[in-house]
Every structure is written in C-alpha cells, then in structure tokens.
C-alpha cells in the first residue's frame, strides 16, 4: 500500500528531468521526491537499507562527481550485490541513482 507523502506529487511535474528521466538539478532533490521517484521506478516504499544505498551514492557523487560502480558500492556500503538487486530490481545502479536524484551513472545502458 502506498503511503501518503508530505510532498505534492504534482511537484514532480514542476521539476526538470534529463533525457534519461533523471533530475536535471541535484539541488531539487528531497527525501520526499526520492520516495515518489521510487514509486515511479517500481522500487516501492523506501526502507533503511534503501537509504544506506541512496546516502552512500549521493555522498560519493558530491565528493567525486560520479555515482560509484556497483562493485564499489557493494564493497564499501555494506549492501551485498544480491541485496542491491532486491532493493533496486532490474538495473540497481541506474534506479538507485535516479531515486537519489543523480544523473545516470557512466557505463549504464
């Protein structure tokens, strides 16, 4: 069941997205927008483990200018590859980046 969000879903309609459907402006991102994006990506309700991934990749992006590879993410975040695919099915790096308000990672199709 989808919970009611404090953010107005129509707020997503006022945001700018790139050609891949990722937020165009990193500063537009909020946790509430992340949840709406997660629903759109069929990720569902975000839990603590989702936030481990989201916070890790956001910090890496801010520090280094690109989202980490899946290998680095699983090695350094404490989230296994299997769990990552469970949290963000069918393209975990791309979906996690999208929910985190980041551009599509380099190397993602």
Residues designated catalytic: 108
| Paired tokens of 58 | 């956001």
Answer yes or no: are the C-beta atoms of 56 and 76 closer than 8 Å.
yes
**SS3 state at 31:** helix
């Amino acid at each position: 069941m989808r919970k009611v969000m404090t953010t107005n879903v129509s707020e997503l309609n006022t945001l700018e997205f790139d050609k891949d459907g990722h937020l165009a402006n990193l500063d537009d991102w909020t946790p509430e927008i992340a949840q709406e994006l997660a629903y759109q990506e069929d990720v569902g309700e975000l839990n603590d483990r989702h936030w481990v991934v989201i916070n890790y990749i956001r910090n890496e992006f801010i520090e280094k200018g690109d989202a980490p590879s899946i290998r680095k993410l699983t090695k350094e975040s404490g989230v296994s590859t299997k769990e990552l695919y469970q949290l963000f099915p069918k393209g975990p790096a791309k979906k996690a980046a999208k929910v985190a308000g980041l551009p599509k990672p380099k190397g993602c199709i």
